[in-house]
Amino acid sequence: MSHDPNCIFCKIVAGQIPSKKAYEDEYLLAFHDINPWAPVHLLIIPKLHIASMADLHDGHAELLGRMGVLAPKLMRELGVSNGFRTVINTGPDGGQEVYHLHMHVMGGPRPWLKG
C-alpha cells in the first residue's frame, strides 16, 4: 500500500505513533481523536495514503463506501444511539489540517448544546 513517510496518519497506520484504536482491518483504521469535539469522536482513515477527498477516483469508490458503512457500526458499538455527525474536510478552504483522507465521526450527548 502507498504511504507517505512524513504523514502523521501513515505513521499511526505503521504503528510508529500510538493511537487508541476502535477498529482495524486490511483497508481501514479507526481511532479516537486526541482533541475530541464530542463525547465520541473517531477518525476513520484508509490505510492507503490518499491526500484528500479531491484526490479520489473511481477506483476508490469501494474504499469510501467501506468508510461510510463503518461509521454507523462503530457508533452503535460505542453506545451512540441518538445520531452522529460525519465530516470530511477537503483542502485548505475546507478546513483540512492533515493531508491524509479522514472521516470525523462524532456522537454522544452534548449537554452544552441544550438550553
The C-alpha cell that represents 78 in the structure block: 460505542
Catalytic residue, candidates 41, 49, 102, 104 = 102
In angstroms, rounded to a whole number, what is the distance separating the alpha carbons of residues 84 and 109? Answer: 10
In angstroms, rounded to a whole number, what is the distance separating the alpha carbons of residues 81 and 13? Answer: 29
**What own/partner pairs with CB < 8 Å and gap ≥ 24 does 58-64 have?**
63/27, 63/28
Active site annotation includes 100: no
In angstroms, rounded to a whole number, what is the distance separating the alpha carbons of residues 45 and 9? Answer: 8
Asked if residue 110 lies in contact with residue 38, where contact means CB atoms within 8 angstroms, the answer is: yes
Catalytic residues: 102
